[in-house]
Structure 1
Amino acid sequence: MKIILATGIYPPQIGGPATYTKELAAQLSKAGYDITVVTYGEMVESKDWKVESVSKFIPLIRWWWYSQKLREVGADADVVYAFSSISCGIPLVLSGIKKPKRVLRLGGDFLWERYTDFGGTKSLRSFYESPFILGKWMMTWLLRRFDHIVFSTEFQQELYEKHYKKLPRHSVIENALEVESGKWKVESITSPHTPFRLLFMGRTVQFKNIPALIDAVAQMPDCFLTIVGEGPLDDMLRKKVEHLGLHTRIQFSVSVSGAEKRDMFASHDLLVLPSLTDISPNTALEARSWGLPVFLTKETGLSEDLRQGMTLADMTSPKDIVSAIDAVRKDYPSLRTACNIPLKERSWTMVAEDHCSLFGQITV
């Protein structure tokens, strides 16, 4: 069976879709599938499957280039699996290819993310309760161009079932959670550092609510914060830290992976993700797997199994964040103990098996 994995980003670029695409390609290739990845960016070398790249420059025109690449490599495919509704979904429609079944994976929400980019502060759930949503008609049209939609969480699936009419067939395939063990796991200490070390890790975008986290740290003089990641808010966040005189208590780092990410987890006391909504936060799963306590927005799509050992709270405002972190610190030994509870592993092999089952069903 020939499968095209259409993604917006791919390693060495860092991000959830990049990691997911490469891991899934590896598993499907191992299972005997003919895999081709189509992505934006520079040429990438790959031994076990093909990677086709399209220039990411010149907005809108790049969609046309991407569509032509899909037509070139995917006209005879059995399935085209898109990892983005807009940057991959629109080129797939433009390509006009008829044979492949079209599958869309949703782990985020384009309309809500653009709303927050322009200053919106509603959670995803509240956003969809609004009487008018700009662009919803377009998204409805686009979703109906697919044969199947894969959601990463029940949370988002239920939201879409409520607010989008006549959805294509759909299902949930949860993300992987590979449980780490042995000498590399974060040391299980019960006493935190002094000052208390907070960690944020992710893209610096509006819905991550990082400015509120910085304002909260300003009110907690015995806390230190590391912000790991890049994005459109980089300059604004750095200027805000300088303006508040927090440059000795808040540091910035580029994105990290592998051993560097492990070391980052090991040198902090708490991962804090105060997003307005975090549908499927892979960083939270990684940190929890390595043994670092996780403090996550209550507006999350992670299932009960996946959020075991995590603390959820409302972190919309700086006041909310300060109050919630104070409560966590008072009960820190219990939080550390909870991180030692074995997690139910969900390997990439299991994720791939779910996909194999789906692809087999829709191509019959």
Structure 2
Amino acid sequence: MKILICTGIFPPDIGGPAQYAKNLREEFIREKHQVKVMSYKFEKKLPSGLRHCFYFLKIIPLVLRTNLIIALDTFSVGLPAVCAAKIFRRKIIFRIGGDFLWESYVERSGNLMPLKKFYETAPILSVKEKIIFSLTKFVLRNSTALVFSTSWQKEIFEKNYNLNPKKSFIIENFYGEKIANLGFKEKKFLWAGRPLRLKNLENLKQVFVEAKKENGDIKLEIVSGVSQDELMQKIQNCYAVILPSISDVSPNLILEGIMANKPFILTKETGLYGKLKDIGIFIDPLDGEDIKKKVLFLADDNNYKEYKERVANFNFTHSWKQIAGEFLEIYKKL
């Protein structure tokens, strides 16, 4: 089968979507499918709108020769890919990772509002955000099928975009086999990601300033823009992983930490809560005192040992082979 993967970024670009596209492509090739990946290159520098038009024109020759399109980004590639699929009558599976509308609102307004509350309260949007909402609705409703990584996000989107549940599916993120836990030399909590407002990083920094007054051994390491190999090395050598985002659908950092048997502290506003609630420590991202309390709790040697054992006993895996197979199973139903 001929498959086209549309993605905003692809290695050597750094980021979760780039790794997802790379691994999905490799697995499809292993299964003897013909796969093309189309990502943004120099057109990244073009203004929005013009960039989308250029990408649309760029993918047309590939769309004409493909059986299935898989789009991995809501706005940058989702819109042109869905338009091309609709015009040329191709099947398109659209995987929703984050929420570009909510991210844009939080970044602009500085209002640290969790994803679920954002849709429940319907805050006043800027003109740009209203356009994003309308275009997102168009993309969601005109995709042949939608893929979410958690039921949590699936339910939020189905309710607020009036989606047909019959065309929505769940494909969980990659859960890898266990890798070496290299121990730790100091009680260093690792945070990694893009320094966006929704990541709640400034509040986390302040929490550690206060927590260090009660336990001088703890440290916070902040990592951004490193390669996947570098990140995995840091995970293997850290004390624990921490991610107090205002909301985070299914963060890879936590899943990678679990692979290395590292205890973790994660926002309760996440699609991973149901699956990981018994092995991790969850916090209210808007309550600095709660975050500090949980950091100091995990810094205790006995508590750390208990949660390290819980993580070590978690052996669920979800391979790229399974993920690729699930995409193909969805395609067969279309």
TM-score (norm 1): 0.82
**Offset, 1:342:** 3.8
Residue 75 of structure 2, aligned match among 86, 95, 112: 86
Q: Does 1:276 align with 2:246?
A: yes
Q: Does 1:111 align with 2:101?
A: yes
Q: Does 1:130 align with 2:121?
A: yes
**Offset, 1:211:** 0.4
Indicate the residue corresponding to 1:73 in structure 2: 62
Indicate the residue corresponding to 2:175 in structure 1: 177
Indicate the residue corresponding to 2:52 in structure 1: 63
Residue 310 of structure 2, aligned match among 327, 331, 338: 338
Deviating runs (4+, > 3 A) in structure 1? 93-97, 131-134, 303-308
- Provide the rounded CA distance (Å) in 1 between the counterparts of 2:170 and 2:311: 26
**Offset, 1:283:** 0.9
**Offset, 1:315:** 2.6
The SS at the match of 2:153 is helix
User: Percent of counterpart pairs with the same letter?
Assistant: 30
Q: Does 1:329 align with 2:317?
A: no
TM-score (norm 2): 0.89
Q: Does 1:257 align with 2:228?
A: yes
**Offset, 1:303:** 5.9
Please list, as runs of the form range in 1=range in 2, the aligned pairs for 1:204-223 lying within 5 A after superposition.
Answer: 204-221=195-212, 222=216, 223=218
**Offset, 1:335:** 1.5
Indicate the residue corresponding to 2:88 in structure 1: 98
* CA deviation string 1:20-54 (max 9, x = no partner): 1111111111112111100012xxxxxxxxxxxx5
Indicate the residue corresponding to 1:225 in structure 2: 220
Q: Which amino acid aligns with 1:154?
A: S
Residue 198 of structure 1, aligned match among 189, 192, 199: 189
* CA deviation string 1:49-95 (max 9, x = no partner): xxxxx521112222111101111211231111111121012222454
Q: Which amino acid aligns with 1:55?
A: E
Indicate the residue corresponding to 2:320 in structure 1: 348
Which is further off, 334-343 or 90-99? 90-99
Q: How has the CA–CA distance of structure 1 residues 93 and 346 changed in structure 2, closer, same or farther, with 3 Å as cutoff?
A: closer
The SS at the match of 1:339 is helix
**Offset, 1:294:** 1.1
Q: Which amino acid aligns with 1:225?
A: L
Q: Which amino acid aligns with 2:327?
A: H
Q: How many pairs were matched up?
A: 318
Please list, as runs of the form range in 1=range in 2, the aligned pairs for 1:16-35 lying within 5 A after superposition.
Answer: 16-35=16-35
The SS at the match of 1:144 is helix
Structure 2 unmatched ranges of 5 or more = none
**Offset, 1:132:** 4.7
- Give 1 or 2: higher helix fraction: 2
Which is further off, 29-38 or 262-271? 262-271
Q: How has the CA–CA distance of structure 1 residues 133 and 167 changed in structure 2, closer, same or farther, with 3 Å as cutoff?
A: farther
- Provide the rounded CA distance (Å) in 2 between the counterparts of 1:115 and 1:22: 30
* CA deviation string 1:212-261 (max 9, x = no partner): 0111111122221110114xxxxxxxxxxxxxxxxxxxxxxxx1322x33
Q: Does 1:13 align with 2:13?
A: yes
Residue 137 of structure 2, aligned match among 140, 153, 166: 140
RMSD: 1.9
* CA deviation string 1:257-289 (max 9, x = no partner): 22x333312332111100000101011000111
The SS at the match of 2:168 is strand
Contact 2:211 2:295 in 1 (8 A): no
Structure 1 unmatched ranges of 5 or more = 42-53, 231-254
**Offset, 1:158:** 0.8
Contact 1:212 1:317 in 2 (8 A): no
